[in-house]
Amino acid sequence: MTVTELSSNLEQVPSQTSFTNLLYLLRDKGINVSTAEWLNLQAVLGRGGIQTMEQMYQTSKAMLVKDPSQYPDFAQAFAQFFELSSNNSDSEEQNADPSSANDTGMTADDLALRNLLLQNEDQEKKVQTAVLATPSTASPADVPEDDNQVEETETYGQQTEKPEQANDSTSPSLLSKIREESESRKQAHEQESRRKMYERVLRRLKNKLTSTTAEITDKLDVKGTVKHIAQSGGNIVPIWERAVNIQPQLLLLLDVWGSTDIYVDEMADFWKAASKMLGKITILAYHNAPYGEVWPVEDGNRPIHPIPLSKLWPQAANTKLVIMTDATMPLDRDDNTGLYNRHDINFDHPRLAGAKPKEYRNTGLENFQLMGQHYKRAVIINPNRQRDWTHGYAGTTTNHSLEKIRRIFPMFELTEKGLNNAIDTLLK
């Protein structure tokens, strides 16, 4: 069936605005569709540009959703509004969600148009099925040669052998598309948009950091001075050497293990984005509080290559420090991981040869304070949202530790706004 043939079916399309409640449903889901965008979609619908339910899905997605991370929410709202879910589990999910009640507010005209779009969808699918069933149309690339391809071909085969599936009121291809958007891609989209947000913010930091290069030193550039004298006809002007690599460095310190485990994805994404955007940065780890030592993040949750804190101080003046922690821990703990605890360190470890035991006698809080003294530009990024900072971890009163640490370092939440504010503070 051609598009022209299909469009003859659409002569019954009502002239007034259609599917108005989809607009409100989308807005309820956080997709802020404007009136102008909605009217643009109506114009395309009115001109007969949309013939099938799948085309309705594709066009409305392109015209109403401008951020791909919202595709999953859009897919859910679309399926809910047009009542496309035929799957039992989907229905259960819908019933469990009070906002997705059966009454989607479709008018009689809306229902007629919905049915028409579905009917056209089925007719088009029949045509496609017939085309797929014709062996001569297969291209060389369609010929299966390995296991995966055989599976894919079998999927097509099911369609060709069971054309009655296409007569279902719900379109399998559209449904599978919606399921793909709303389930499997949701996590990937969230991660992708999070990474992009981190990169956007870190790009700002990078631009600021790299603009502070090429400062004049107190060392005379002899060659440059002689060249200038020769070029300027004997006019003596001293040319000073420029230090080009004195830009401030960045140290990222991650609080690993325990209460921060639930933020591991966000922290790993931030770490990756920072490595990507800022090149060679130092990323170290600690648990709860720094008890005399930190370790390379590659070591994981425990120090395999411990680095005494005192080794960090020489570079601290030129380094900006970003600590990523939820700053949540008991003040005292039996296993010595509280804020007021100090660790018993095994000084026999070969990596600690030469380290002075007194460096390790500070409590976690004292070491945070020591860091605050050495790093003049330091911030804490808290992956926990600010609204929850007063609640403490798992209903305990460990938010006391957060308040104490927050007095040493300005603290910002791990959101675009929080990161921008943190960067402003670092660059002051």
Partner 1 sequence: MSAENSNGHLQTRQLPKEFLAAAVKRANELSLQRAERPYRPSSELKFLLEVQVETAHMPLMLVGEPGGGKTAAAYHLQHELMQKTQREGRDANVSLHHISCHDNLSPREILYRFDHLARLRAATDGKVIPEHLVGKTAEWLATVAQNPDLATSPEFISFAESVIKVVELSHIQAKTLLDPMSFMVYGPLGEAIIRSINGEESVVLIDEIDKTPPGFEDQLLEVIEHLIFTLEEAGLSVAGNKELLHIIITSNDQRELSKAFLRRLMVHEIKFPSKKELEAIVHDHLPQVNNRLARAAINFIIRLRNELELNKPPSTAEVIQWIKVMQAYNQSAESIEAYEVPLLEMIIKDNEDRRNVEDYLRRRSY
Footprint of partner 1 on this chain (CB under 8 A)?
Answer: 34, 36-37, 40, 43-44, 47-50, 55, 58-59, 62-63, 65-66, 68, 71, 139-142, 145-146, 148-149, 152, 196, 200, 203, 272, 275-276
CB 325 within 8 A of CB 313: no
Q: Which is nearer to partner 1, 9 or 310 (CB)?
A: 9
Closer CB to partner 1, residue 97 or residue 151?
151
Q: Which is nearer to partner 1, 97 or 152 (CB)?
A: 152
Nearest distance from residue 87's CB to partner 1, in Å?
A: 22
Q: At closest approach, how far in Å is the CB of 47 from partner 1?
A: 4
C-beta closer to partner 1: residue 16 or 148: 148
Task: CB nearer to partner 1: give 151 or 168.
Answer: 151
Is 277:309 a contact under the CB 8 Å cutoff? no
Nearest alpha-carbon partner for 390 in 414, 409, 406: 406
Closest separation between CB of residue 53 and partner 1, Å? 13
Six token digits for residue 171: 């379109």
26-29's contacts with Cβ under 8 Å and 24+ in sequence apart are 26/64, 26/74, 26/77, 28/99, 29/73, 29/74, 29/76, 29/77
Strand order of the β-sheet with 319-324 is: 307-308, 293-296, 282-286, 249-255, 319-324, 377-382, 411-413
Q: Which residues 6+ apart lie within 8 Å of 37 measured at CB? A: 63, 64
Distance separating the N- and C-terminal Cα atoms of the chain: 66
For residue 151, the minimal CB distance to partner 1 (Å) is 11
Which ranges constitute the DSSP H helices of 337-395? 364-374
Distance CA 336, CA 330 (A): 10
Token pair belonging to 109: 């005209």
Q: In angstroms, give the least distance from the CB of 332 to partner 1.
A: 39
DSSP state, 260? G
Which pair of structure tokens corresponds to residue 227? 């060249």
What's at 317, amino acid-wise?
A: A
Q: Name which of 2 and 102 has its Cβ closer to partner 1.
A: 2
DSSP H/E element including 229 = helix 222-231
Q: Which of 392, 239, 371 is nearest to 311 (CA)?
A: 371
Residue number, 171 or 325, with CB nearest to partner 1 = 171
Q: Which is nearer to partner 1, 47 or 302 (CB)?
A: 47
User: To the nearest whole angstrom, how small is the minimum distance from the Cβ of residue 317 to partner 1?
Assistant: 29
For residue 197, the minimal CB distance to partner 1 (Å) is 9
Cβ of residue 222: shortest distance to partner 1, in angstroms?
A: 22
**Min dist. Cβ of residue 295 to partner 1 (A):** 20
Question: In terms of CB distance, is 42 or 315 closer to partner 1?
Answer: 42
Structure tokens at 360: 């390790």
How far is it, in rounded angstroms, from Cα 309 to Cα 295? 10
Choose between 118 and 273: whose C-beta lies nearer to partner 1: 273
Q: Sign of dihedral through CA atoms 360, 365, 366, 370?
A: positive
What is the nearest approach in angstroms of partner 1 to the Cβ of residue 8?
Answer: 16
Question: Quick one: which of 87, 77, 81 has its CA closest to 103?
Answer: 81
